[in-house]
Amino acid sequence: MKTATTLRAALVATALSTAVPALATPVDGSGVAWDIVEGLTTEIGPRPAGSTAEDRARDWSAAKLTALGFRNVRVEEFKTLAWQRGPERASLTAPYAQPLAITALGFSVPTPKGGLKAELVYFPTLAALEAAPEGSLAGKVAFIDHAMRAAQDGSGYGPYGNVRREGPTIASRKGAAGVVIRSAGTDGHRNPHTGVTTFAKDVKPIPAGAVSNPDADLIARTAARGKPMAIDLTLMGKPFPDATSGNVIADLPGRDPSLPIIVLACHLDSWDLGTGAVDDASGCAIVSAAALAAQAGGQTLRTIRVLWSGNEEMALSGGGGEHYAKLHGAEPHAIAMESDFGADRVWQVNFSHAPENKALADKVNAVLWPMGVVPHKGRAEGGADVEAIIAAQKLAVIDLGQDGTHYFDLHHTPDDTLDKVDPAALQQNVDVWTAVLKVIANEAGPIGKFEAAQ
Ligand code: ZN
Ligand code: ZN
């Protein structure tokens, strides 16, 4: 039996060699998406960037894509800064003793031995924390509340996600010894949501965690009583440098290999609390099943490539998207697309295209209207896995917007598991992506550069 490593070596060797062994005939795409999400969540599960599980996931993915009939299946590893979770717990110790459901944020540093016991200071918003005087939080733990609500387009993740992304740096600047936030999430389960935070270069990294929404409500009610609060906080997760992550890429060659290609991205890594079913096994499943389905009636004109990116979740810089652009930036690309917003139905489409490609966008809209997918006036941006190649080549982008009403109930929690994926909604994604690919991958005319308005 081949070990995972030799299997990968064989696959890499296959990609490099000119004597191509028997390859699978591309399958037609039906049932493939579910099969990928089910397989990845069952046979691998959580696959944080830089972990051995993410490494096993690369082997799994390369074998899967090869079996599905993709060509030029390659694993492209890279070094990255990663973060590993440790033991974590917290409780409110004053004015009332209450356990808190907490999880560390990525790039939190460990609390001191025996835990951090400190005054807990309540801030209703990120702006309130920003307004606190310098040094006023010395030795204390800041708690940052917010009011994220569910939205169909998921837009609350921008402003409220900033509590997670920027709050810890601001708290550290004010002298805080630690920071706890209300999870960037919209559910009422006692599940905290993890996710990366960042510390600006000029601040000292501090322990940083998120409590579940019900626990944040409890802290807010306690704070409203006006008595001093105290917390006992243990978060032992820590960064580790020189971790190995990697991308898996695979092609379905088009009839004219000289034409710029279509690249479809997702990310293979996941957070560790759930099994990464909606974030983002579903994305990899959708793009790959659609690429196959688009070729079911014969090869498309242009090559379709799938990029299953490594280290999207913890990539402060230099994740899979950047590595892809570094290795493949010289190959002509035409359009980039990404699926990384769960498994709910697609309801809107956005474009970024050159003025001369309006007719192509109209053709895409024409196939989407009957599927109930409506044009939106926003600009398509792709996402973290394709932003580097988009920037490098000024690529046209198409975003297929999924219904995000429930996405932030599950996002980065233990609830991100297979049972949350509705097979019918997953298949609707595949059908919509397939319809789009049949248009754009068969476009014979030039696909221009997108020059973003300044
Ligand atoms: Zn994601
Ligand atoms: Zn994520």
pLDDT reading at 12 higher than 70: no
Eight-class DSSP state of 26: P
**pLDDT at residue 16 in the model:** 45
Report the alpha-carbon angle 237-158-124, nearest 5: 75
Q: Please state the three-class secondary structure of 364-405 as a single string.
A: HHHHHHHHCCEEEEEECCCCCCCHHHHHHHCCEEEEEEECCC
11-25, 77-91, 384-398, 404-418: segment of lowest average pLDDT: 11-25
> Distance from the CA of 279 to the center of ligand 2, in angstroms?
5
Are the C-beta atoms of 183 and 213 separated by less than 8 Å? yes
Beta-carbon contacts of residue 118 (< 8 Å; ≥ 6 apart):
139, 140, 141, 177, 178, 230, 231, 233
**pLDDT at residue 9 in the model:** 47
- Taking residue 86's Cβ as centre, other Cβ atoms within 10 Å add up to 13
Q: What are 109-144's pLDDT values in tens digits?
A: 999 999 999 999 999 999 999 999 999 999 999 999
> Distance from the CA of 198 to the center of ligand 2, in angstroms?
15
Q: What are 170-197's pLDDT values in tens digits?
A: 999 999 999 999 999 999 999 999 999 9
Read off the pLDDT of each residue in 35-57 and give the average, rounded to a whole number. Answer: 98
Identify the structural domains of the chain with CATH numbers, from first to last: 4-82+241-440 (3.40.630.10), 86-236 (3.50.30.30)
> Distance from the CA of 46 to the center of ligand 2, in angstroms?
12
> Distance from the CA of 301 to the center of ligand 2, in angstroms?
33
> Distance from the CA of 312 to the center of ligand 2, in angstroms?
8
> Distance from the CA of 379 to the center of ligand 1, in angstroms?
19
- Taking residue 236's Cβ as centre, other Cβ atoms within 10 Å add up to 18
State which amino acid sits at residue 106: G
> Distance from the CA of 360 to the center of ligand 2, in angstroms?
31
Taking the C-alpha atoms of residue 229 and residue 138, their distance in angstroms, rounded to an integer, is: 15
Closest residue by Cα to residue 47 from 256, 310, 307: 310
- Taking residue 92's Cβ as centre, other Cβ atoms within 10 Å add up to 21
pLDDT reading at 3 higher than 90: no
CA distances from 441 to 255, 298, 343, 444, 445 (A): 10, 12, 23, 8, 11
**pLDDT at residue 21 in the model:** 52
**pLDDT at residue 452 in the model:** 76
* Least distant ligand from the CA of 411: 2
* Least distant ligand from the CA of 313: 2
Read off the pLDDT of each residue in 382-396 and give the average, rounded to a whole number. Answer: 97
> Distance from the CA of 440 to the center of ligand 1, in angstroms?
25
pLDDT reading at 2 higher than 50: no
> Distance from the CA of 271 to the center of ligand 2, in angstroms?
7
pLDDT reading at 11 higher than 50: no
Please state, rounded to an integer, the average pLDDT across all residues of the chain.
94
> Distance from the CA of 340 to the center of ligand 1, in angstroms?
5
Taking the C-alpha atoms of residue 22 and residue 39, their distance in angstroms, rounded to an integer, is: 24
Place of tokens 């099969």: 35
**pLDDT at residue 28 in the model:** 75
Eight-class DSSP state of 304: E
> Distance from the CA of 441 to the center of ligand 2, in angstroms?
28
* Least distant ligand from the CA of 309: 1
pLDDT reading at 354 higher than 70: yes
* Least distant ligand from the CA of 265: 1
> Distance from the CA of 277 to the center of ligand 2, in angstroms?
11
Q: What are 25-41's pLDDT values in tens digits?
A: 778 766 999 999 999 99
- Residues around ion ligand 1, judged by CB within 5 A, are 279-280, 340
**pLDDT at residue 27 in the model:** 80
pLDDT reading at 20 higher than 70: no
CA dihedral of residues 344, 349, 352, 354 (deg, nearest 10): 140
Taking the C-alpha atoms of residue 143 and residue 205, their distance in angstroms, rounded to an integer, is: 16
**pLDDT at residue 359 in the model:** 97
User: Where would I find the H helices in 295-393?
Assistant: 320-328, 358-368, 387-393
Taking the C-alpha atoms of residue 429 and residue 372, their distance in angstroms, rounded to an integer, is: 12
> Distance from the CA of 196 to the center of ligand 2, in angstroms?
9
> Distance from the CA of 344 to the center of ligand 1, in angstroms?
14
Read off the pLDDT of each residue in 241-262 and give the average, rounded to a whole number. Answer: 97
**pLDDT at residue 454 in the model:** 41
Eight-class DSSP state of 200: -
351 or 24, higher pLDDT: 351
Beta-carbon contacts of residue 159 (< 8 Å; ≥ 6 apart):
none
Are the C-beta atoms of 249 and 307 separated by less than 8 Å? yes
- Residues around ion ligand 2, judged by CB within 5 A, are 279
pLDDT reading at 5 higher than 90: no
Taking the C-alpha atoms of residue 372 and residue 362, their distance in angstroms, rounded to an integer, is: 15
State which amino acid sits at residue 70: F
> Distance from the CA of 123 to the center of ligand 1, in angstroms?
28
pTM as predicted:
0.93
> Distance from the CA of 452 to the center of ligand 2, in angstroms?
26
Are the C-beta atoms of 117 and 159 separated by less than 8 Å? no
